[in-house]
Amino acid sequence: MTINELAAAIDQLRIDVLRSNPPLIMTSSEVADMLKVSDETMLRWRKDGVGPKFSQPNCRIVRYLRDDVVAWMEENQ
């Protein structure tokens, strides 16, 4: 196994672990990984007001509560 293959396997394992046990407070990238969408989709959803509820204490920080993401997923099955 090459270093690149090992790095890819580690990245996939990280995604799988986060998806199965996400943190209570999540970044946009973590939510994107959980929902299997791109970061650009998350940005578009925030702009359009159609994605999960989020908090934005300043222009650089966006956070999601795990319970809000799960509730949004259940509402939009």
pTM (two decimals): 0.74
Quick one: tokens of 13?
A: 């394992």
51 DSSP assignment = S
The proportion of the chain whose per-residue pLDDT surpasses 70, expressed as a percent, equals 100
Residue 17 tokens read as: 């672990």
Q: Which pLDDT band, with edges at 50, 70 and 90, does 6 fall under?
A: very high
Q: 20: which 2 tokens?
A: 């199965």
Asked whether 69 and 31 are in contact (CB, 8 A), the reply is: yes
Cα Rg of the chain (Å, integer): 14
pLDDT tens across 15-48, in order?
788 777 778 999 999 999 889 999 999 999 999 9
